[in-house]
Copies of this chain bind each other. A is one copy, B any other.
Amino acid sequence: MREVAIIGVGQTKFGELWDQNLRDIFAEAALKAMEDAKIDKIDSIYVGAMSGGLYNHQEHLASLMADYIGQSGAAGARVEAACSSGGQAARIGYMEVASGLSDFVLVGGVEKMWDTDDSTFVLATAADQEYEAYNGVTFPGLYAMMAQVYMQRYGLTREELAAVPIKNHKHGKNNPYAQYPFEIDLKAVLNSAPVADPLRLLDCSPITDGAAAIILAPLEIARKFTDKPVKIRGIGAATGPIALHDHKDLAKIDSVRISAEKAYKFANVSPSDIDFAEVHDCFSIAEIIVAEELGFFDYGTAGKAIAEGQATYGGKLVINPSGGLKSKGHPVGATGVAQLIEATLQLQGRAGKRQIENARLGLTQNMGGSGGSSVVHILEAI
């Protein structure tokens, strides 16, 4: 199996992009990535997108996007695993280069969520339609149930839970691509509108338009295209039960643990080797549970550790230096690719005011639904 590197990255501003359409934003990110990699031709394209059908009445995105960036003839397909679509697309791009089938693969992610007036309905199609969505449960409610169990069992306070979005907005204010690049304080979180108890508006990632793209190539030729290729040292993916009621423990997410175990084994590293991580903080409670399943903190301790500053600059490791889904925004299909971009920029020393000193090993974790899918990448500066 060949080793694989990221040789270029590109993304749009995340936010409400009313004056660009779906193909516009994808092309902007994709062409930036190709320019960054100094290539003008790709062998293959994978487009991570959750629901072009319901959001934009447009399926068949690989054909459309290859055409609009002048690459018709390239192989490719759209990849979907709900909010982990972007990360899953990257894993497939990795396999294509690793297998030797192709040299230059563009992996993009895109979602234009403001094109519909009922994004909550669309997002709920990532849950079990017949047992959850049909009965009215949507994702804020599902994650609220997880938060209730976690807080009751481990004694996490409402104030400690708020530390997650407060930290991520503090990081995100330095991200020029973030949807909400400003700080929020405890009072703002606690006074924001209740969504599903205990979660309030500022515990929830937003509705976002955005696109992100990376270029993958064999590591052995990567230095021809960039002085600082980033090696994908490990990958791991796992499905889990799509319905929350099938989780053995509502305060855990098995798919995250399994995908991480696969990635750590693949990369031959352990959680303590990781300098920083971009994780799937779709809701405040998600970052806490995920940080535990990734092995960064013991079960029941991540919430307090984050509140104590262990997941920011100067702490044990930096979690979500980009601002995470909460501050950067969460265009669902693009999120996993945007995580890989942040990791790449950090490992290349291109992260500006967000730069983590001596960042050598980064991890990304991208999740679908309430844990129905998870995909982990481990990236290394070389």
Partner-B contacts on A (CB < 8 A): 1, 21, 44-45, 50-54, 56-64, 66-67, 71-82, 84-85, 88-89, 91-92, 95-96, 98-101, 122, 125-130, 133, 236-243, 246, 254-255, 258-259, 262, 368-369, 372-373, 375
Contact = CB atoms under 8 A, between A and B. Distances in A.
Nearest to A124: B57
A331 to B, nearest CB: 15
Nearest to A75: B237
Contacts of A84: 77
Contacts of A262: 75
8 tightest CB-CB pairs across the interface, nearest first?
A63-B372, A75-B237, A99-B99, A77-B88, A60-B82, A66-B239, A53-B53, A58-B129
Contacts of A1: 99-101
Contact of A57 (B95, B129, B368): B129
17 contacts: A44-B237, A45-B239, A53-B125, A59-B82, A60-B125, A62-B239, A63-B81, A63-B368, A66-B239, A67-B240, A67-B372, A74-B238, A77-B91, A79-B80, A92-B95, A95-B96, A98-B99
Given A78-B80, A80-B77, A241-B67, A59 B99 contact: no
Contacts of A96: 95
Contacts of A129: 56-58
Contact of A63 (B44, B50, B258, B369): B369
Given A56-B129, A58-B129, A60-B373, 19 more contacts: A51-B59, A60-B80, A60-B127, A63-B241, A63-B369, A67-B240, A67-B241, A67-B242, A67-B243, A73-B239, A73-B258, A75-B91, A76-B237, A76-B373, A77-B85, A79-B79, A95-B96, A95-B101, A98-B100
